[in-house]
Each structure stands twice: as C-alpha cells, then as structure tokens.
A and B are shown apart, each in its own frame.
Chain A
Amino acid sequence: MAAGKFTYSLSCPLPQLDFDRIVLGHGSGGLLSKRLIDKVIRPALGEVILSEWHDGAILNTHSKLAFSSDSYVVSPVFFPGGNIGHLAIHGTVNDLAMCGAEAKYLSLSFILEEGLLLSDFWEILLSIKNACERSSVKIVTGDTKVVDGKKCDQIFISTSGIGEVHAQSDVHAKNIRAGDTIIVSGNMASHGIAVMSVRQGLEFETQVTTDSAPLHVPVKKLLDAFGSKIHFLRDPTRGGVATVLNEAALDSGLSIEIHEQNLPVLPEVNGACELLGLDPLHVANEGIFIAIVDPEIADEAMGILRNDECGIHAAIIGQVLDRQPPQVICQSLIGGRRVVPMLPGEQLPRIC
C-alpha cells in the first residue's frame, strides 16, 4: 500500500463487486454509470451526499454567499499524509474560508482514467467523506466521466462550493493598512515537500506529511472575535507564501516586510528545501493561511489561533509598511535585506 493511504478498511470495506477497475462504460451515463454511483460512490460517501443527488441541486441559504471553484490534478494521487480526495474538499472549503465564508454545499466531479483500481477510488472516496465531515459540508451535485488510458493521471477531481459569508467579515486587500500585522497560521512548505518527496523518491529521517486541513474553524474564530479588523485572508497554496504576500502588496499598493527568523518551517522541511535548492516561501501549502490584521488585535488573534489545532505553530512574520514601490522585503537571518519575488513559472530544483 502506498505511503499515506487512509486506512478505513476495517469499518468501511469496499463492497463485493464483479469489477475491480474503472472501464470506459462507467462514464457512459448508462447502466454501468448507475452501478458505479449506487454501489460505490453513494455507499462510500454515505451521509455527506444529499439523498436526492442528481445533476442539479436546490439550496436554502440565509446570508450573503461566496462561491469558489477549483480542480485537482496532483501527482502522485497518494502522498504522505493523504491523497487527492481530501485535498479537493479542503481546497474549496479553504478558498471559501478566505472569503470570510463557511462552506455549506459542494459539487464534486470526477474525471477517471480507464483502468483506475476500484480499491484506489474507494480510498479516495472515503477520504472525501472524512474531509466533508471535518469541514461540515454537504455534496449536493456532481458528475463522473471516464477517459481513455493515459488521457489523465488516474483521477482528476473538480469541486465547486457555496459558502455563507460571516456577517462581520470584510476581508479584502483594499482594507490592508500600513502598520498591519502579518500572521501565518502554521508551518510553511510541508505539503509541497511531502508531494515532492514521493515524486522524487526522497527519504527523510522524519517523514514529511501534507498539512492539508480545513481552515474554516480558525477563520470563524478570528471573525467572531475581531470582525472587520481581520483585513485580509488568503491560503498560500501553489506559489507559496511569497506569492500571496506579493499579491497583498500589489493589491493594497503598500510594502510588506517579513523577518526570516520568524518564518515557521519544520526542520525536516527546511532541510529538504536546502537540499533541493527551494525557497520555503515559494513551496505550496494546503493547510495554512495568511491573515493581515489590525496591529491592535494581533496578540489576541495569535492567542486564539494557537489554541486551535490548525494554528498551534502560528507566527507573526512581519508587517505592512507605507513604502513604495509595493513589494515584499525579507530581512535575512544575518540582518541583510532582499526582495522576495512571486514564484516565476514552475518551481525548478537547481543543478548544484
């Protein structure tokens, strides 16, 4: 079994079926599709899927809405600490959380590669269920297509989500002010290094696992306590913390200064970055967020975050400055200063 696979096998075994791999017919819309839905997808997802699940859904909501959509094509599909399934749920839940919203309803669409092992699909579905439960979100509609072998990498997932916006939330880059405090909610770069370690066959003394987690709970706690004093929220997924901070600088027209010594990175992740010639500021994350907040509430916000399981390693990493041009400056460990750019193109390991 690949590293990091979820093991639900005792409580939730794959039903006895007369097929063990996905075939093109499972995406036909006909009898085989129905069997895949009725015998595999529904039983696996259980309560988190609406009983009247079909091509569309009618929803009740009570507040201003946020809407988000994303696609997941991670390779490999299984990696230390998880798989593409919970990534696809947490990703959209978090995108909504960064709008100051709590995810309520998701759509879930699969593009499956012909030949995908049903046992692998089952595990991915179980991790989707687990992630939905953790995120208090329901799946209300979806779709499944199957493509010829080699036309996709085992499984691609697309999720869209609707969330209810917190009544006191006013999260927008235009609200960022000079003097604001920049908080990162946890250790940086773990997800990117976890995935890269399987891709490249790297082994570390301590295994690095993905940080993938839903962030709606700590975000709600911050918004409950401080409302519009939370000026900006963003989860630094691809492109890393550097890219989010650059976006914040450009969109607010202000400069950002961070301190290298305050950046939270696990030693083993830092070691891998040193080895591969990567900057942790550019490596992807799936379970942390950046909050730019009113300096008055920064310490209290840190207290709240550190009492949440997703925010134990939260750190104040810098502040917003009224300085031109809008860019991100990092003060190095030795007191030097450098510009931190956005990640240009793909992140490539260096030669020597």
Chain B
Amino acid sequence: MKFLEEYRDRERVEQLLHEISRIVTKPWKIMEVCGGQTHGLVKNGIIGMLPEKITMVHGPGCPVCVTPASLIDEAIALSKKENVVLASFGDMIRVPGTSESLLQAKAAGADVRIVYSPLDALRIAQAEREKQVVFFGVGFETTAPAIALSVIQAKQLGLKNFFVLASHVLVPPAMEAILSDPANEINAFLAAGHVCTIMGEKEYYPIAAKYHVPIIITGFEPVDLLQGILMAVKQLEAGEAKVENQYSRMVMPEGNPSAQQLMQQVFATCDREWRGIGEIPSSGLEVNAGYSSFDARKKFSLPVISSTEKTECRAGEVLRGVLKPVQCEHFGKRCTPEHPLGAPMVSSEGACAAYYHYHQTAASE
C-alpha cells in the first residue's frame, strides 16, 4: 500500500536503528505523546529493538485514557434519559466511569450507539426526529474539526434534536503540565503527528524554548517513529531544543487553517480535568455561546458530577510517564482489557492495553 509499505521497510528500519545506536552516548527518556505512536512502537516490536540507553515513555495522548470518570458519568446519565440516543466512538463505550461504563448502561437498556463519525450521529438525528441525539465529543484537536462541522451542519439543517457533549482536550497544555511537574524526567517529545496535521508547528515553539526540550513532530509507522527518535537523540546529544517536523508529508507548518477555523467557529477553550493528571487550565474545548443550543450540557441541565477516581488504578503515574505499565502491581493480574481497572487498559492506544496486547514478555525470550 502506497505511503505505508515504504515506511515499514526492514532495511530502512535497520539503518535507522544502527544510526541511533551509533550516536547515542547518554541515557535519554523520550515521550511519544500520542497513543497511536505507542501502538506503533509496541505492535512492531520497536521498543525491544532500541538501544538500552533510550527509554520510551508513553504520554497522555490517548483520548480514551485521559477522559475522566466524571465526564463518562455525565454521558451515562444522559444515555439513561428517556428518548435520548447517546452516540459515541467505539472505544469510549468500555471505559469505566465511577460505577459503570456506557457498555454496561447499554446492556441495561440505555440507547447507546457506536458511530465512526459525528456526521453519522447527525444522520441519526435526521432520521429519528423524535429522539434527542447526543454525540459524546471526545478526542484531541484531531476529532474536534469534524465535530464542529457536524454542529454547523445541524444548524444549517435546522435540527433541534442534535447535541454535543463536548469533552475535548488539547495537547500542548498537557505537555506543559508534564514538563512543569517537579518529578518530570522527560528529555524530549515525539509530538503527535495527526494533531499537528490540524494545528501545525507554532504551538510548540514556546514550549521547546521555555523548557529547553526537543520536540519532534512524528508519524506512526516504524520508519517515522525511528526517524523521530533519531532526530530527538541528535538534538539531545548536541544540547539543542528545537521543534522539528519528521512527518512533513502530512504536517504543514501552519497546519490546516480551514479545520482550525471550524474549531474556532464552534468551540471555546475551557479548563478541563484529565484522568490521572487533574485539572489543567485552558486544556479543553466547550461549545461556545454562538452554538449553545447544540450544547448538551445546556440542553439537559446535568447534575454536577464529581467522581472519585478508582484508587487502585495508577493511570496518573502512567500518563505522566512516571510508571511503566508493566511496573504496576495490577498489570495483567487484576487489570486486563477484559476487566480494566482504569482507562489506559481499555483502548488499543492506551499505554497499558498496548503493553498488554503486544509487549514481548521476558519469559518468552
């Protein structure tokens, strides 16, 4: 497949690994921000191929993992209202809220439907006018434009039964939260390629400068990931801290202005709670005043849900890069993809699930 096979080329991978080994002199901790990158590293067995001096740390870039239980509880509360259809991306429905998941609510009779796109939810609203259709809008800057578009289309169509439960999070504030933590050990970032496809490079310049940290915008295939790691190691070894773009076949320096415009039209930034990290200022998106009639929180006066995270799950440490999934005492024992104690075990992009699914266990060597 074009644009895939050439990035999975074994010879090229071996060259990159060789080059990384040749130049690395000190131990470095590099965080891949996006869950898709974690998946790519683990699925292809790259972690076991890297020189020992390089430690990859899995960042908070999985929307499923960072959505706090309180927002899932809100979605569950909505799904149980009479006449409400709660439409969600597939992997959100298994994430545990405080006492149950959307999947359990569905089994108990709530009308929860899996959609691939917010526009599918819009079609449900068009086809079933007697229902109140709520789209559970989770994700990063990547999913926000399509959700904004669905709201704009709903307005154009005059739909009165389509709403968004906006639960978006933004990547740069989370990276700053990690860097400003006194316990931070991260030396460099592989920034999330798809997020940058939308947002471009410029958000990262002040972060790289303020914290003196190399930030490499990186793709998801083996060659992408290894090139990103090589670029990070080169900068680290040279004492540099620049923003570089490995994923230039997809990411323009200015990003995608039309997508950014859609987001600005519909959303405003707000403070947002992250699972395991806590509240980060200006790190979320909410439906703005101009489109408030499509805001599920305004339409269905929801009770303020303040849920307590399950204490057994050490998601916070995993998402901040302080703890490796396999170092958690519950990993693979009480906590599995079938019975996740916390969100990072649910989505295939969650650091814990990625490890559980693909990590080469020492015992099998």
Q: A329 interface residue, CB < 8 Å from B? A: yes
* Shortest beta-carbon distance from A155 to chain B in Å: 22
* Shortest beta-carbon distance from A31 to chain B in Å: 37
Q: B93 interface residue, CB < 8 Å from A? A: yes
Q: A30 interface residue, CB < 8 Å from B? A: no
State the CA gap A274–B3 with chains docked (Å).
12
- Report whether B36 and A352 are in contact in the complex, using a CB–CB cutoff of 8 Å: yes
Query: Which among B4, B8, B42, B92 is the interface contact of A334 at CB below 8 angstroms?
Result: B8
Q: Which residue of A lies closest to B9 (CB)?
A: A334
Query: Which among A325, A331, A339, A349 is the interface contact of B90 at CB below 8 angstroms?
Result: A349
Which of the candidate stretches B158-166, B183-191, B204-212, B353-361 sits at the interface with the other chain?
Answer: B353-361
Interface hits, B64-96 → A, CB 8 Å: 64, 89-94
Q: Contact residue range for chain B?
A: 35 or more
- Report whether B10 and A351 are in contact in the complex, using a CB–CB cutoff of 8 Å: no
The 0/1 profile, CB within 8 Å of A marked 1, for residues 336-360 of chain B is: 1110000000011100000011111
* Shortest beta-carbon distance from B25 to chain A in Å: 24
- Report whether A334 and B44 are in contact in the complex, using a CB–CB cutoff of 8 Å: yes
The 0/1 profile, CB within 8 Å of A marked 1, for residues 43-57 of chain B is: 111101100000000
- Report whether B4 and A274 are in contact in the complex, using a CB–CB cutoff of 8 Å: yes
Q: B139 interface residue, CB < 8 Å from A? A: yes
Q: Which residue of A lies closest to B363 (CB)?
A: A325
Interface hits, A309-352 → B, CB 8 Å: 323-325, 327, 329, 331-341, 344-346, 348-352
State the CA gap A268–B292 with chains docked (Å).
42
Q: B114 interface residue, CB < 8 Å from A? A: yes
Given contacts A334-B10, A338-B43, contact A351 B91 (CB under 8 A): yes
State the CA gap A352–B194 with chains docked (Å).
8
- Report whether A333 and B10 are in contact in the complex, using a CB–CB cutoff of 8 Å: yes
The count of residues in chain A whose C-beta lies closer than 8 Å to any C-beta of chain B is: 32
Query: Which among B45, B142, B194, B338 is the interface contact of A336 at CB below 8 angstroms?
Result: B45
Q: B138 interface residue, CB < 8 Å from A? A: yes
Q: A277 interface residue, CB < 8 Å from B? A: yes
State the CA gap A215–B13 with chains docked (Å).
40
Q: B1 interface residue, CB < 8 Å from A? A: yes
State the CA gap A334–B364 with chains docked (Å).
19
- Report whether A329 and B63 are in contact in the complex, using a CB–CB cutoff of 8 Å: no
- Report whether B45 and A335 are in contact in the complex, using a CB–CB cutoff of 8 Å: yes
- Tell me which residues across on chain B come within 8 A of A324, comparing CB atoms: 363-364
* Shortest beta-carbon distance from A272 to chain B in Å: 11
Interface hits, B140-163 → A, CB 8 Å: 140, 142-143
Query: Which among B138, B142, B194, B361 is the interface contact of A339 at CB below 8 angstroms?
Result: B361
* Shortest beta-carbon distance from A178 to chain B in Å: 14
Q: B222 interface residue, CB < 8 Å from A? A: yes
- Report whether A277 and B360 are in contact in the complex, using a CB–CB cutoff of 8 Å: no
Given contacts A200-B116, A332-B45, A352-B139, contact A338 B360 (CB under 8 A): yes
Q: Which residue of A lies closest to B64 (CB)?
A: A351
* Shortest beta-carbon distance from B207 to chain A in Å: 21
- Report whether A345 and B49 are in contact in the complex, using a CB–CB cutoff of 8 Å: no
Q: Which residue of A lies closest to B347 (CB)?
A: A350
Q: Which residue of B lies closest to A338 (CB)?
A: B358
State the CA gap A199–B206 with chains docked (Å).
45
State the CA gap A341–B348 with chains docked (Å).
12
* Shortest beta-carbon distance from A199 to chain B in Å: 10
- Report whether B10 and A335 are in contact in the complex, using a CB–CB cutoff of 8 Å: yes
- Tell me which residues across on chain B come within 8 A of A352, comparing CB atoms: 36, 63, 139-140, 142-143, 194
Query: Which among A323, A327, A332, A345 is the interface contact of B43 at CB below 8 angstroms?
Result: A332
Given contacts A200-B116, A350-B348, A352-B143, contact A336 B46 (CB under 8 A): yes
Interface hits, A148-165 → B, CB 8 Å: none
- Report whether A345 and B94 are in contact in the complex, using a CB–CB cutoff of 8 Å: yes
State the CA gap A102–B1 with chains docked (Å).
40
Which 3 pairs between the two chains have the least Cβ-Cβ distance? A336-B45, A348-B90, A344-B337
Beyond A335-B13, A349-B91, A351-B92, 20 extra complex contacts between A and B, CB < 8 Å = A200-B116, A267-B1, A327-B361, A329-B360, A332-B45, A335-B10, A335-B45, A336-B46, A339-B361, A339-B364, A340-B357, A341-B358, A344-B337, A345-B337, A345-B338, A348-B90, A348-B94, A350-B347, A350-B348, A352-B140
Binding site for A on B (CB under 8 A): 1, 4, 8-10, 13-14, 36, 42-46, 48-49, 63-64, 89-94, 114, 116, 138-140, 142-143, 194, 222, 336-338, 347-349, 356-361, 363-364
- Name 18 A/B residue pairs within 8 A (Cβ), A-sorted: A255-B364, A323-B364, A324-B364, A332-B43, A333-B10, A334-B10, A334-B45, A335-B10, A337-B360, A345-B94, A348-B114, A349-B91, A349-B116, A351-B64, A351-B90, A351-B91, A352-B36, A352-B139
